[in-house]
Amino acid sequence: MGLVRHCKMHKLENIINYMVRAVRVLESMGKDDPIFVFSHIDTDGITSAVIIAKLLIEMNKPFILNFFPQISNKSFESYWQEVEPRYVIFLDLGTDTPLAYVKKTASISSSIIIDHHIVSSSDFSDPFSDPRSLVINPRLCEIDGSTEISSAGIAFLLANTFYGFFDRNKAHLFYAITGALGDSQDVGPKRSLIGINKFIVNYGERYGVINSYEDYILIGMGFKPLYRLLAEMFILDIPGISGSYEGAVDFLIQAGVLRRGDDPEKVYWDKLTPEQRDVLRNKLLEALVLKHCGKYSIREIDEMLRGYVYEFSAGQNHFCRYARDLSILINACGKMRSPEVAFGALLNPLNKDVVQQVFQLYERYRAVLSTIFLNMESQVEMHGSVAVYDGRDKIHEELTSSVASILAHALKSTAKIIIVLSRSVENALKVSIRGTNAFQGNLVEILKKVLSNLPEASGGGHELAAGAYLPEEKLESFLAAMERLLE
């Protein structure tokens, strides 16, 4: 145990050493030319961008921020060539591709690459071969970048090396946790965060910024009235309640949480007394057990609903106090191609207009998802144990990963692997791949094998989730190779 502890501390020290180097680079940047910041448009990318932007503002550095869904395409390439950047920060956009851009660009003086994705082995041996780029990737310190820390966590650790940053910007620790949850790093017991993420949580708890505790995880519990929360809960189908606002209101009346004549819009989960919550948990369990009897035990259902809640206890004025809620709000903005709205709201949470836009985008995203939901399963084609959802003329590329995750849950007894595709830029397809519960193996290893025969394609990921881009004409050979490797 002592050794394990020592080892973990050692890793953390290692990553903090990188921060010290990064600080020196940062200080030298932006004196004569603005810093170009490029960030990913998912929750982790957006929260990373907010933390770094705040840091640059405090350091009084001029910067230009741009969000991109990916950077290995013509639209990024032409922007890059047009601006001829001198100073660059890449956030959550991979490590190999940013390194390659820096290497081939003469105008660059210095760059920082903050990332937690897989690094290709050739670059791993020599990640600093270009003295103009500093890579901060936990994988280089033998920290698991898929579960122990995300880009937002790294950005926070970096910002936190500046004197007083945390004191002045407590919300940014909360954003770091939100980023990790956005990347599904809650893989510890009871869906808790582990590794350095946990270290950040503990740090926040020590300073009264964060509260973490076990409870039912009801996504949206901080901003949706209870009846909507229940009716819109996707994780388990509750008879009479899922999809029905009237049903949910009736249920709450019968549970004694709502009185007839009360305004249901005003009743929130986090305003209930502990006793009311107990009653509600039990009534929910009862309803679920009736529906799912035989399939799951009461304990299993209880377990499914439970998990760690991460609450921003210092954020009484913040528009969203729960990290999981915030993560889906930000994610929705990215998926609706408006990452700058989420960015604006996080940087300035008291700006009512931009906060309102975040909620509008979330509602629109939900509407898009629910129309896809309606007949999603019927549009799946089975290729052996691979389920393929062809979203080429139905969904845009930011939605593939959500649809794949939903299908992985829905088809866990019929498929091993879910593949969802949509059109990307030019003639490329975006492919999201998920392993279901029935899948035993390592998805990224399989993907690597498939891609080794398709030089025009690229991709990466981890054990149970991966993504790739490929030319449309290669789709059939890609699917055939996936199917073959799964036999």
Pick the closer one to Mn ion by CB: 93 or 421: 93
How far apart (Å, rounded) are the C-alpha atoms in residues 334 and 322?
Answer: 19
Pick the closer one to Mn ion by CB: 92 or 186: 92
First to last CA, the chain: 41
Sign of torsion, CA 192 195 196 201? positive
Q: Identify the helix (H) or strand (E) that includes residue 386.
A: strand 386-390
Strands 428-435 and 417-423, by their bridges, are antiparallel
> Cα–Cα distances in Å, from 438 out to 305, 411, 421?
21, 10, 21
CB of 107 to Mn ion, least distance (A): 27
Pick the closer one to Mn ion by CB: 307 or 461: 461
CB of 402 to Mn ion, least distance (A): 15
Q: Applying CB under 5 A, which part among 40-48, 244-252, 280-288, 317-325 lies near Mn ion?
A: 40-48
Q: Which of residues 189-218 bind Mn ion (CB under 5 A)?
A: none
Pick the closer one to Mn ion by CB: 18 or 223: 18
Pick the closer one to Mn ion by CB: 114 or 380: 114
Q: Applying CB under 5 A, which part among 140-148, 182-190, 261-269, 288-296 lies near Mn ion?
A: 182-190
CB of 44 to Mn ion, least distance (A): 3
Q: Applying CB under 5 A, which part among 30-38, 146-154, 304-312, 321-329 lies near Mn ion?
A: 146-154
Q: Applying CB under 5 A, which part among 143-151, 214-222, 267-275, 296-304 lies near Mn ion?
A: 143-151
> Cα–Cα distances in Å, from 197 out to 62, 152, 209, 359, 446?
30, 10, 15, 27, 28
CB of 138 to Mn ion, least distance (A): 11
CB of 424 to Mn ion, least distance (A): 19
Pick the closer one to Mn ion by CB: 197 or 357: 197
Classified as helix, coil or strand, 417 is strand
Size of the site for Mn ion (CB under 5 A): 5
Check residue 186 for interaction with Mn ion (CB under 5 A). Answer: no
Cβ contact 101:73 at 8 Å: no
> For residue 83, what are the contacts with CB-CB under 8 A and spacing of at least 6?
36, 64
Q: Which residue is nearest to Mn ion (CB)?
A: 44
Q: Identify the helix (H) or strand (E) that includes residue 6.
A: helix 2-28
| Radius of gyration (C-alpha) of the chain in whole angstroms | 23
Alpha carbon 247 to its chain centroid, in Å, reads 32
Pick from 87, 92, 146, 292 the residue near Mn ion by CB under 5 A: 92
Pick the closer one to Mn ion by CB: 183 or 340: 183
Pick the closer one to Mn ion by CB: 44 or 340: 44
Classified as helix, coil or strand, 109 is coil
Check residue 183 for interaction with Mn ion (CB under 5 A). Answer: yes
Q: Applying CB under 5 A, which part among 43-51, 216-224, 451-459, 469-477 lies near Mn ion?
A: 43-51
Check residue 44 for interaction with Mn ion (CB under 5 A). Answer: yes
CB of 116 to Mn ion, least distance (A): 6
Check residue 137 for interaction with Mn ion (CB under 5 A). Answer: no
Cβ contact 397:424 at 8 Å: yes
Q: What is the DSSP letter of 381?
A: E
Structure token digits, residue 246: 């009237």
Residue with tokens 């901080």: 222
Pick from 39, 97, 133, 150 the residue near Mn ion by CB under 5 A: 150
**Tally of residues, the chain:** 487
Q: What is the DSSP letter of 238?
A: P
Pick the closer one to Mn ion by CB: 48 or 169: 48
Cα angle vertex 140, ends 139, 143, to 5°?
40
Structure token digits, residue 364: 């629109």
Pick the closer one to Mn ion by CB: 44 or 311: 44
CB of 110 to Mn ion, least distance (A): 23
Check residue 115 for interaction with Mn ion (CB under 5 A). Answer: no
Residues near Mn ion, by CB under 5 A: 44, 92, 150-151, 183
